[in-house]
Amino acid sequence: MGKTQIKEWYIRLKHGQTWVENEAGSSKPSTGQSKELIENVRRIITKRCHVTNQEITHEGEISTGSVHSILTGDLCMQRESEKFLPKVLTAHQKQHHLEIAQDMVDCANQDPDFMETILSGDETWIYGLFSMRSVILRNNENLASSHCMSVF
C-alpha cells in the first residue's frame, strides 16, 4: 500500500466517509487479458513462433503491455533477442524428436555396431581425442592406422 492511498483514505475519513474501500470505477482500468485475447496471441505464436512483440501488437490489435504480460505470465514464454520463444518444445518439435529417437532405437536394435558409428561433439570427447592423439604421436605410431584417425 502506497502513501498516496493512505493520504486519500485519511482525507475521506476526515470529511465524514465511514469506509475506506475504493469507490466503484476508481481503480485502474482492466488490462483486457480475456481468454479470447490469450487464445488469439497463442494462435499467432503457434503460426509463427519467431514473431516479435510489435508484430503481435499490430496483428492482434492488443496493447504492447497486454501482449507482454500475456506472453510472459499466461503463456509462460521468455524474451530471447526481441522474439518470444516457448520455454518448452511445441507439439510439432516433440513429435519430431520422438521420431528421430525411435529411428535411432530401431537402428540400434537392427545393427549391434550402430552406437559405435555415432560421433559425439561433446567437449570432453574432443579433449579426450586430442589427448589420445598426442599419446599416439609420442609413441611414434602411424597416425593413419590408429582408431583416432577414422574420426577425421
* pLDDT bracket for residue 122 (50, 70, 90): very low
Assign 80 to helix, strand or coil: strand
Per-residue model confidence as pLDDT tens digits over 42-89: 888 888 777 888 888 888 788 888 888 888 888 877 666 555 555 667
pLDDT of residue 79: 64
CB 54 within 8 A of CB 60: no
Per-residue model confidence as pLDDT tens digits over 4-36: 878 887 888 787 777 656 555 454 434 567 888
Per-residue model confidence as pLDDT tens digits over 127-136: 444 444 444 4
pLDDT of residue 84: 53
pLDDT of residue 88: 65
Of 50-59, 93-102, 103-112, the one with minimum mean pLDDT is 50-59
pLDDT of residue 64: 83
pTM above 0.85, yes or no: no
CB 75 within 8 A of CB 38: yes
The pLDDT mean for the chain works out to 69
Averaged over 97-109, what is the pLDDT?
Answer: 88
Q: Which three cell numbers stand for residue 108?
A: 540400434
For residue 107, give the nearest of 118, 120, 97 by alpha carbon. 118
